[in-house]
């Protein structure tokens, strides 16, 4: 099987797993965060690599894409927005679609544009994912329970933040470093 085929198969498997396998409500926040991270950090780059034409369609300047992704990810992590996505099926679908689109914009922009700017976009994304993951992990109380109508679960929130740190930070960081190394090893093609 070709690399493109493996990327498509991997993306399809990940998307099926996070959307079709029922997630138990006992670990609501960590599993919700796992779904977010699969969408933006794992499935999106596999889709861009598996479908190069899709990557070209969604490509925008890397730093613009990283800024847009920052606004969308942080916006959906505001307590009221997160609560709406938890309580309202339409808001949940919008949230999930927004995360996947944000991931497609970042990965397409960073992989289909100038490599040094792509590296900068991925490294900036790694930084804001790290910050958000750390805030969720270290928050002294559950930020979302009152908006979701659920009992407080600060341990679940901390675990969700750690998942963001464990998945988002290294994926974007390593991809950014690899893209920068590629650009710097072949400077004539770096732009």
Instruction: State the Cα–Cα distance between residues 173 and 76, nearest whole angstrom.
Output: 22
Q: Which two tokens stand for residue 103?
A: 């991931």
User: For residue 190, what pLDDT is reported?
Assistant: 47
- Whole-number average pLDDT of the chain: 93
Residue 161 has pLDDT above 60, yes or no: yes
Note the pLDDT tens digit of each residue in 40-81.
999 999 999 999 998 899 999 999 999 999 999 999 999 999
Instruction: State the Cα–Cα distance between residues 160 and 137, nearest whole angstrom.
Output: 7
DSSP conformation letters of 43-57: IHHHHHHH-HHHHHH
Percentage above 70 pLDDT, the chain? 96
Note the pLDDT tens digit of each residue in 149-159.
999 999 999 99
Average pLDDT rounded to a whole number, residues 181-186: 90
User: For residue 189, what pLDDT is reported?
Assistant: 52
- Lowest-confidence segment of 20-29, 107-116, 165-174 by average pLDDT: 20-29
User: For residue 27, what pLDDT is reported?
Assistant: 74
Q: For residue 160, count CB atoms less than 10 angstroms from its CB and return exposed for 0-12, middle for 13-18, buried for 19 or more.
A: buried
φ/ψ of 140, rounded to 5, equals: -75, -10
Listed in sequence order, the residues at least 6 apart from 110 whose beta carbon sits closer than 8 Å to its beta carbon are 62, 65, 66, 117, 118, 119, 121, 122, 175, 176, 179
């Amino acid at each position: 099987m070709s690399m493109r085929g493996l990327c498509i198969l991997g993306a399809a498997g990940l998307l099926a797993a996070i959307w079709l396998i029922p997630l138990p409500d006992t670990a609501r926040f960590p599993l919700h965060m796992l779904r977010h991270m699969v969408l933006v950090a794992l499935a999106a780059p596999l889709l861009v690599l598996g479908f190069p034409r899709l990557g070209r369609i969604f490509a925008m300047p890397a730093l613009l894409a990283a800024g847009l992704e920052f606004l969308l990810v942080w916006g959906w992590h505001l307590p009221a927005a997160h609560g709406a996505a938890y309580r309202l099926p339409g808001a949940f679908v919008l949230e999930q679609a927004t995360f996947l689109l944000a991931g497609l914009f970042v990965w397409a922009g960073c992989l289909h544009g100038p490599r040094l700017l792509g590296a900068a976009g991925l490294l900036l994304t790694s930084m804001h994912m790290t910050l958000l993951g750390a805030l969720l992990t270290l928050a002294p109380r559950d930020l979302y329970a009152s908006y979701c109508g659920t009992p407080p679960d600060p341990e679940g929130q901390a675990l969700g933040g750690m998942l963001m740190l464990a998945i988002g930070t290294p994926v974007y960081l390593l991809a950014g470093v690899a893209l920068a190394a590629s650009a710097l090893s072949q400077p004539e093609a770096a732009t």
